[in-house]
Amino acid sequence: MHELPAVEDLIRTLDEESENKGISEISEIHIVIGELSSYIGECVQMYFDFLSEGHSCENAKLVFHHKKARFKCSSCGHEFDHEKDFACPLCGGEGRIIKGTGKEFLISSIKTP
């Protein structure tokens, strides 16, 4: 349900982008979704199908890229992707999440026919 405003924003951004660059049709949209963002690709797709009608991005294919959260070790300062647990892969120290990581919901690229 919370995907709705996010998809509205997404389409607004695509409209602006199309207008600025003189694009009349978008064929593919790559979207980055952070693992902690709680956005679900299927829901994004559902709202997109519904909301994109009449826009330059209508009928575009959505390609989702899932991104892991990043952690920083509190002992040695090493930064690493969240895998199975929060322990530092170098020293076993406690990893703390880097604020904002894993919560992405953004367009990484678009393709035109």
Q: Can you give the binding site for Zn ion, defined by CB under 5 A?
A: 73, 75-76, 78, 88, 90-91, 93
> Is the CB of 41 or the CB of 93 nearer to Zn ion?
93
Q: Please, are residues 44 and 66 in contact by the beta-carbon 8 Å criterion?
A: no
Q: How far is the CB of 51 from Zn ion (least distance, A)?
A: 44
**Rounded-to-integer distance, Cα 80 and Cα 90, Å:** 10
> Is the CB of 91 or the CB of 107 nearer to Zn ion?
91
**Rounded-to-integer distance, Cα 109 and Cα 79, Å:** 26
Q: How far is the CB of 71 from Zn ion (least distance, A)?
A: 10
The DSSP bridge pattern shows strands 28-34 and 61-67 to be: parallel
Question: Which residues partner with 32 through β-bridges?
Answer: 65, 106
> Is the CB of 44 or the CB of 73 nearer to Zn ion?
73
Q: How far is the CB of 95 from Zn ion (least distance, A)?
A: 8
